[in-house]
Structure 1
């Protein structure tokens, strides 16, 4: 569940893009509706199709199961690679901002020669380190579960309901209070349970695999 939650946070991208033009609130709402209708249909459509075609033993990386011409495999894997780069840039944008502030010349334009070269090499090194760490741990997906369980569950479900109750206060209807309290309690329990499960899975896999193992 935590991994699914991490995947679905890609809805942040169209939401951010929608804030560029007015009316901001209406555009953000449209972007979120699109993500959680069309986006979910694509995500889960592929998942269901994979299980239907290959059974429960399907690989975590679906392109491994595909057969066909070489050019199609190259295209699919290239698309997956580009998607991973885009996802990383979206999630680590605050880190990029900090690195830019640290290493770039702030008195020059963003697209000055020095800043362009500096940004390219700094982000390339950062991206390379991410690849190294991912290759180092053959069960990196377990850390995705851990990340989603103890961070995204509270951020996605708990905090919004807490903010609603804080802002509305006594003005909120009783059924609204009960609904948001139920979300807070249920999501908090799910966060604790999935975090414990993710930690247990990581401990189990550390006994099974070694660094840079080819799984």
Structure 2
């Protein structure tokens, strides 16, 4: 039986009147995490804001770098296929959630879906830990990237400054510490609207800056050849696939759909349509313009290409503005991906029988969330090479959560005929992306081992 809220579906409410056991189960299953963090009050527009913040994040600024390992044809092909498959799989996931809600079994969390569809061990030992690792890893990555953007502004304005990267990561972590206290996922809707605007702004700046440099004589000579020997090129392809999977990754579709006020039917498709309109505008403009301008010299973060040996290739105010937009949106992204952690902490330490803002719930909430952000900030400051680890998270986490499990859930829930095209399309997606995920995981581990010789804790990179 999935976790249920008082605001369940109309079908479920109707069945409750005739089945007292459902009422007992509902009271048993309501927990503080679901009750306080995953409030079902939002509209499809709010859901679109949440989706956009969780997908259209500064990770998209690494897409030109992914192209350096794929080239033009393969790069654009992979970007298109990933967009089509994730849009398709997210809609399938939404349909499964709607179907379960119609059956009186509204599922609010990814692990609830796995438990009810695949069995309790899948939810507890596979999907739950992977989702937690992916989402918390995203929080760490946001803290690190926020610190790097802050340092970029500092170095440009004060080339002889002595502040280190870990100091900027700490400053950014303090900012996230404040935002982390926002009580529920639904409460983030206005922040995520601002986030949507910001991602459009910094993507436009990144694309415009790349085009300006590419048309001038300031940038590097354009070279689109693939670097390295055959072995490095092969593993580079799978590293690039991990980057693209991470960029399109979400991992919290059930939690986002849980913020919708019932009935939820059809709302997620509208929200996903809004989100993927923004995805197409931002992802393709940044990837194509960045790779066109800098070729195989594209950096892991395309904004790094705007400065060459300490010399800005664009007006300083433009670089400051672009990094500023990125920093502010990163804080929203980090808080969105903190929500599964918040829900787990609230479930463990909160009391659903006490008011949400009673001292019984507020004190544990502030302490636990502050500790979660503090730990993430320390990890980001200690491991400034987290990008390699993030590739591993993308391969091992986002691939199964966003590409494989949705099609499996759909086939098991709706049981389409084995003669139908949708059945075999889903099977093909599951097999192909399971294989790619396994190989990409190996490639990510290999890259960590290779780069491990140069790793230093609290390095000022």
Q: Report the count of equivalent residues.
A: 214
**Structure 1 unaligned runs (5+)?**
none
1:175 to 413, 418, 421: 421
Q: Which has the larger radius of gyration?
A: 2
| Contact 2:250–2:398 (Cα < 8 Å) also in 1 | no
> Which residue does 1:8 correspond to in 2?
248
Q: 1:201 to 1:83 in 2, by over 3 A?
A: same
Describe the superposition over 1:14-70 as per-residue Cα deviations: whole angstroms up to 9, x where unpaired.
x93795356523220122223234313302311222222233222222333334454
**Structure 2 unaligned runs (5+)?**
1-240, 307-311
Q: 1:16 to 1:106 in 2, by over 3 A?
A: closer
Distance in 1 (CA, whole Å) between partners of 2:365 and 2:354 is 13
Normalised by the length of structure 1, the TM-score is 0.80
Counterpart secondary structure, 1:214: coil
| Contact 1:138–1:213 (Cα < 8 Å) also in 2 | yes
Alpha-carbon deviation of 1:206?
0.8
Normalised by the length of structure 2, the TM-score is 0.41
Alpha-carbon deviation of 1:91?
2.1
| Contact 2:408–2:426 (Cα < 8 Å) also in 1 | yes
2:404 to 134, 147, 158: 158
> Which residue does 2:442 correspond to in 1?
196
Distance in 1 (CA, whole Å) between partners of 2:370 and 2:315 is 32
Q: 1:18 to 1:116 in 2, by over 3 A?
A: closer
Describe the superposition over 1:80-135 as per-residue Cα deviations: whole angstroms up to 9, x where unpaired.
22322222222231211233455567665434578657645543442232122123
Greater helix share, structure number: 1
2:386 to 111, 123, 140: 140
Q: 1:108 to 1:69 in 2, by over 3 A?
A: farther
Alpha-carbon deviation of 1:192?
0.6
The answer on 1:58 being equivalent to 2:304 is no
More deviation in 37-46 or 115-124?
A: 115-124
Counterpart secondary structure, 2:249: helix
Task: Determine which structure has greater relative contact order: mean sequence separation of CA pairs < 8 Å that are 6+ residues apart, divided by chain length.
Answer: 2
More deviation in 152-161 or 71-80?
A: 71-80
> Which residue does 2:452 correspond to in 1?
206
| Contact 1:10–1:87 (Cα < 8 Å) also in 2 | no
